[in-house]
Amino acid sequence: MQATSSGKLIQSGIAEKLGLVSPNLTTFLAAFIIAFVKQWKLTLIISCIMPALLITMGSVAIPDAMIDSKIFPIYAQAGTYAESILGSIRAVKAFSIESRIIEKYTTYLVSARRLGNKKSPLYGVMFGGQYFVIYAGSGLAFWQGIAMIALLAVPTTDDENTNVLFSVIVASTIITAVAPHMVVFSRAATAASKLFALIDRNSSIDPFSESRTKPEKVSGAIDIESVSFSYPTRPDAQELKDSSLRVAAGKVTALVGTSGSGKSTIIGLFERWYDAQSGLIKFDGIDIRTLSLNWLRANMRLVQQEPVLFNATVFDNIANGLVGTSWATGTRDEQMDRVREAAKLAFADEFIVNLPNGYGMRIGERGGLLFGGQKQRIAIARSIVAQPKILLLDEATSVLDPHAEGIVQKALDSASKDITTIVIAHKLATIRNADNIVVLNKGRIVEQSSHSALVAVGGTYAKLVQAQDLSVEHNDQSDDGSDDAYTQAIKPTHSLAKYGIAVAQFLASFKDREDFALHKQTGLFHTVMKLIMSTPEIKSWYLLAMCTCMLGGDKIPYEEGDGTGMFASLLCHELVNECYCTDARPEVPSRSFDSNAQAITELMGFNVALCFMALINVLASSILSIAVSWKPGLVGVFAGMPPLLLSGYARIRIETKMDADIDAKFSASASIASETVNAIRTISSLAIERSMLRRYTSELDDAVSNSTLPLFNLMVWFALTQSVEYFILGLGFWWGCKLVANGQLTFSQFIVSFMGIFFSGQAGATFFSYSSSFTRAKTAANYCFWLSDILPKIREKDENKGKGPAVGCQSIDFRDVQFSYPLAPDHRVLKGVSLKVCVLKTFNIDISRQIAKLRQVNNDRSSRVSFYDPTSGSIVIDDIGPLTDLNPRLYRSKLALVQQEPTLFPDTIRENIKAGIDFEADEEAVADDSVVEAACRAANAWDFVSSLPEGLNTPCGHGGSQLSDESEKVVQKALLEAASTGNRIIIAVAHRLPTIRDADKICVFYGSRIVETGTHDELIEQGGMYKKMCEAQSLDRAA
């Protein structure tokens, strides 16, 4: 986000603003050369105003840049915070903490506004001082010129003095025209300094270095020798403590242990995302720090828990694994053979060939058009396509349901033959056949051996196995045939798979059809007035400022400079706060936050005052010119102004269209940049940095080449708006001189009338010089208006105020509930679900693969907590009425959602835990840390939290992590204890069946219906689908 916002500021500084300033400076020099040639002594006297102007501008530029350097980081933090929150909008709504999030977000805006207010007096002083100097210089020119003529001290004439006077006026006016752009240059310089610092930052781990070793023969053995490591952000907390490990070549080594024990840290050290502080890591006996990083990563492939795929074809995604190998330079057919062979090994070829366009199908951003198991198998194919010597598997099956997990695990077992494989797993059934199982605890290796040997020892690993044992009685008959029956029962039909793809494609196209471009946009004048009227607190002040502008005419007094700047900061604060903090739709993008704020502030600050005064100047000067002498006035105004207005209007229209076209052309490169930043670890592990850079550069080159002709057309109209000014001056001067020569006009009438035409032409050109600000701000303001007009279907309304559970949810009753997603109304996700749960009951749902796949299509990995309304039927809480009639804020305050991937907000641990407190119902608890500590102890998390260096003040950053087996057992115990208090209902969605074995009721979903219900023992005795799922996850056969 910093790169994007800084890039926009730099573009503004070196694009049209530089184009405006360059000819102005040339005109300035030419005016002074003419003045010196005509009358050097008078020009020298008047030149004393130049140092004064430069001092006035320079005295403001430095503090302005210093304030900007403080404002930009605040906007960047606000944008990052907004992006994180909007990405977690379901959790925000589930906890009903919108008001607290808005309050936190508003603090950023208030801080930026306060700093922005400090700039306004500076601008007021600069513009007021400049105009004072200019008019003082004009007075000095008249006084000294008249004195020279009257006293005959210097041989001069009226013509020479007039030439000098007008030349100096032109030069001074040029300075005032350049001054507003200096503010943009100052911001661009500040932004550039930050970008240069980012570009010049040297990484100690350089993937592009070609000076390191590339061994010719590789066996795949890895040695960890006395390695200790701490993350740079937490140097006091050691993740690995003097650990040593031998990973044998061609064998499978599994890493297990609780969360935070150091498993993923070892993977990161192998990939050289970090370097150890002490100790050595050797690859075939060679220190990996001496090896070429691209070569190392090309021989070491990683399959992560959440596979990251790119918005490209299936073929391109798998072929990314060939980068850095000899196959990367092969023909397309040769690469396709490698890709298909890898896909077959990963059990992916069967579903790929049935996709629309097969290997040529684009799979969407982050592989959004594929299901979870499909994405994982493509990631496996990508990892093995180049036959790496080492395969790293980091929780590769943890997010899959039992059936998908079985297929993917089979693919992994096939792929890892004769390859050095390192596996991180919490599901111990997936690593039972590993050659060596390494148990870590608090950064140390405490056990290592085979599965059977570790179970026999009865140590830490045996306890982990026992925690996952479902104690299912197995029999040979079940082993021989019923597993296949189970697999066939929950395997989706081919038509359903195609239907899922169609739904996903429809989802993607729907977003485009709902795009902002379809929103009716308002014109420039309407936009400015709507911006002013949208904020009642500043409406009257803006109107007062406009009145002073009318009185000021061509002057810019201190009050306008100070006032409009502060009003713009307040208006921007209120508008952005409204459009980003209302109950807008969850997918509202945050990437445009900073650019929209800057564009609106730029227009509604000094620019709106300058433009309004320019319009007043045009009107007043035209009236003055006609009033003094109608003959030259009418010619200058009605013959000269129409071409100026026409060319200016054409320029604005062309510039608006060109901005939209350029945004569309650069959207592809922006998408690649965003994709690259979000998947940087995947890109680095595949060593495809150069490939992504080539893609990005290619898209940029195409966008630039396609923008050349529109830019040329814009330049023509821009030149017209700037040159018509001189056409007006020439016309007025020629016609006035002719009238004076014919005796129809006195010289004094000519001077006054001509000055009116002169200033009106300059004011008109000044107005249109800000057209780029008009187009950007108009688009930004309309975008904000569009967001603020969006109203969600489920929201707090007058009809449901005060309607909600009084003391908490005592019962939840599903009454013949049927549901279809709004974008797929013909496909029922729930079909006639009826059940009732009350307090003292723990209700668990195990969702079969069919439903889980539809969740993956919609990128929703959590249960729905009234994010939608039922298509038919009803959900009733505490028998007070259907859920659709209740206030969502009130009933959500009685619910708490724990998702598959815990959503932690970008705040401290304390504030994240307090998100579960109902602020309105329990104000004292908000300020009481004892409540937070009690919650941590109830969740068995206090020992972990208190062990952190900063305790409750530890920043959570973005995201969370999966629970390990031991942590999972702890949380399960905490949930059961919470349910036993008698005032909570727990509804759990689980694939890991050990977590729900003690539930009061377990419901198994298949075909969008509940097909089995009962306790764990009852369902096992029935011998149906639930029992087969338990057998698939149980370890007691080997134990």
- 276 part of a folded domain: yes
Kindly state whether residues 41 and 147 are assigned to the same domain: yes
DSSP class of 751:
H
Residue-wise pLDDT tens digits, 953-978? 777 765 443 334 444 444 444 444 44
Element of type H or E holding 874: strand 872-877
Q: Please check whether residue 784 is in contact with residue 534, taking contact to mean a CB–CB distance below 8 angstroms.
A: no
- 76 part of a folded domain: yes
Among residues 553, 706, 729, 724, which one has the least CA distance to residue 651? 724
Return the pLDDT at 968. 44
Mean pLDDT of 206-227: 82
Q: Report the interhelical angle of 536-552 vs 524-533 (nearest 10°).
A: 120
Kindly state whether residues 175 and 242 are assigned to the same domain: no
Lowest-confidence segment of 510-519, 537-546, 657-666, 896-905 by average pLDDT: 510-519
- 551 part of a folded domain: no
Q: Report the interhelical angle of 593-602 vs 2-14 (nearest 10°).
A: 30
Kindly state whether residues 233 and 146 are assigned to the same domain: no
Q: Does the structure show a pLDDT above 80 at 431? A: yes
Q: Copy the structure tokens of residue 700.
A: 């940029």
Q: Where are the alpha helices (DSSP H) in 469-557?
A: 476-477, 483-490, 494-513, 524-533, 536-552
Kindly state whether residues 262 and 171 are assigned to the same domain: no
Residue-wise pLDDT tens digits, 228-281? 888 877 777 778 888 888 988 888 899 988 777 888 888 888 888 888 888 899
Q: Does the structure show a pLDDT above 60 at 489? A: no
The phi-psi region of residue 204 (left if phi > 0; otherwise alpha if psi is between -120 and 50; otherwise beta) is alpha
Length of the chain: 1039
Which pTM was predicted?
0.62
State residue 424 phi and psi, 5-degree precision: -105, 130
Mean of per-residue pLDDT scores for the chain: 71
Mean pLDDT of 750-771: 69
Kindly state whether residues 97 and 130 are assigned to the same domain: yes
CA distances from 947 to 173, 277, 875, 902 (A): 66, 22, 43, 21
Kindly state whether residues 366 and 450 are assigned to the same domain: yes
- 928 part of a folded domain: no
Q: Please check whether residue 70 is in contact with residue 115, taking contact to mean a CB–CB distance below 8 angstroms.
A: yes
Q: Report the interhelical angle of 1025-1033 vs 402-415 (nearest 10°).
A: 30
State residue 233 phi and psi, 5-degree precision: -80, -15
Total number of domains in the chain: 3
Range of the domain at 962: 798-906+957-1033
More confident residue, 445 or 723: 445
Chain center to CA of 182? 30
Q: Which of 201, 233, 263 is the last residue in one of the domains? A: 201
Return the pLDDT at 429. 76
Q: Report the interhelical angle of 747-768 vs 608-628 (nearest 10°).
A: 160
Mean pLDDT of 627-656: 74
Return the pLDDT at 851. 26
Share of the chain above pLDDT 70, in %: 64
The sheet carrying 1001-1006 orders its strands as 986-989, 842-847, 1001-1006, 1009-1014
Chain center to CA of 741? 68
Element of type H or E holding 842: strand 842-847
Residue-wise pLDDT tens digits, 386-413? 888 888 888 777 666 666 667 767 777 7
Lowest-confidence segment of 370-379, 427-436, 754-763, 811-820 by average pLDDT: 754-763
Return the pLDDT at 437. 92
Pairwise CA distance, residues 697 & 701, whole Å: 6
Q: Residue 978: how many CA atoms within 13 Å on its side-chain side? A: 19
Mean pLDDT of 440-456: 88
What is the signed CA dihedral for 560, 562, 564, 566, rounded to 10 degrees?
-170
Chain center to CA of 340? 35
Residue-wise pLDDT tens digits, 883-939? 777 777 777 777 777 665 566 777 777 777 777 666 555 555 555 677 777 777 777
Q: Copy the structure tokens of residue 617.
A: 């100047």
Here the CATH number for the domain that contains residue 375 is 3.40.50.300
Pairwise CA distance, residues 805 & 893, whole Å: 9
Among residues 338, 206, 287, which one has the least CA distance to residue 687? 206
- 464 part of a folded domain: yes
Q: Does the structure show a pLDDT above 80 at 79? A: no
Q: Please check whether residue 363 is in contact with residue 312, taking contact to mean a CB–CB distance below 8 angstroms.
A: yes
| Maximum C-alpha span of the chain | 125
- 608 part of a folded domain: no
- 821 part of a folded domain: yes
Q: How confident is the model at residue 501 (pLDDT cuts 50, 70, 90)?
A: very low
Q: Copy the structure tokens of residue 1007.
A: 């075909």
Lowest-confidence segment of 611-625, 696-710, 893-907 by average pLDDT: 893-907
Q: Report the interhelical angle of 608-628 vs 558-581 (nearest 10°).
A: 140
Lowest-confidence segment of 41-50, 145-154, 565-574 by average pLDDT: 565-574
Kindly state whether residues 230 and 112 are assigned to the same domain: no
The identity of residue 890, as a single letter, is: L
Q: Does the structure show a pLDDT above 70 at 566? A: no
More confident residue, 411 or 524: 411
Among residues 259, 261, 286, 281, which one has the least CA distance to residue 271? 281
Beta pairing partners, 252: 421
Mean pLDDT of 843-855: 33
Place of tokens 């051996």: 449
Pairwise CA distance, residues 513 & 505, whole Å: 13
Return the pLDDT at 143. 82
Q: Report the interhelical angle of 630-678 vs 747-768 (nearest 10°).
A: 20
Kindly state whether residues 499 and 355 are assigned to the same domain: yes
Here the CATH number for the domain that contains residue 191 is 1.20.1560.10
Q: Residue 468: how many CA atoms within 13 Å on its side-chain side? A: 28
Q: Which of 169, 201, 233 is the last residue in one of the domains? A: 201
Mean pLDDT of 332-337: 89
Kindly state whether residues 197 and 254 are assigned to the same domain: no
Mean pLDDT of 528-538: 64
Return the pLDDT at 487. 43
Return the pLDDT at 855. 29
Return the pLDDT at 318. 92
Return the pLDDT at 526. 66
Q: Please check whether residue 987 is in contact with residue 863, taking contact to mean a CB–CB distance below 8 angstroms.
A: yes
Lowest-confidence segment of 13-27, 662-676, 783-797, 990-1004 by average pLDDT: 783-797
Kindly state whether residues 160 and 270 are assigned to the same domain: no
Beta pairing partners, 354: none
Q: Which of 506, 532, 558 is the last residue in one of the domains? A: 506
Q: Please check whether residue 220 is in contact with residue 389, taking contact to mean a CB–CB distance below 8 angstroms.
A: yes
- 741 part of a folded domain: no
Kindly state whether residues 285 and 251 are assigned to the same domain: yes
More confident residue, 823 or 694: 694
The identity of residue 705, as a single letter, is: S
Kindly state whether residues 161 and 273 are assigned to the same domain: no
Q: Please check whether residue 568 is in contact with residue 600, taking contact to mean a CB–CB distance below 8 angstroms.
A: yes
Burial letters 886-914, b for 16+ CB under 10 A, else e: bbbbbbbbbbebbbbeebbbbbbbbbbbb
Q: Please check whether residue 236 is in contact with residue 949, taking contact to mean a CB–CB distance below 8 angstroms.
A: yes
Q: Is 393 helix (H, G, I), strand (E, B) or coil?
A: strand
More confident residue, 651 or 1012: 1012
Lowest-confidence segment of 75-79, 209-213, 557-561 by average pLDDT: 557-561
Q: Residue 900: how many CA atoms within 13 Å on its side-chain side? A: 19
Q: Please check whether residue 1015 is in contact with residue 467, taking contact to mean a CB–CB distance below 8 angstroms.
A: no
Share of the chain above pLDDT 90, in %: 1
Q: Does the structure show a pLDDT above 70 at 163? A: yes
Beta pairing partners, 280: 225
Pairwise CA distance, residues 738 & 726, whole Å: 18
E-strand stretches of 233-297: 238-247, 252-257, 278-283, 286-287
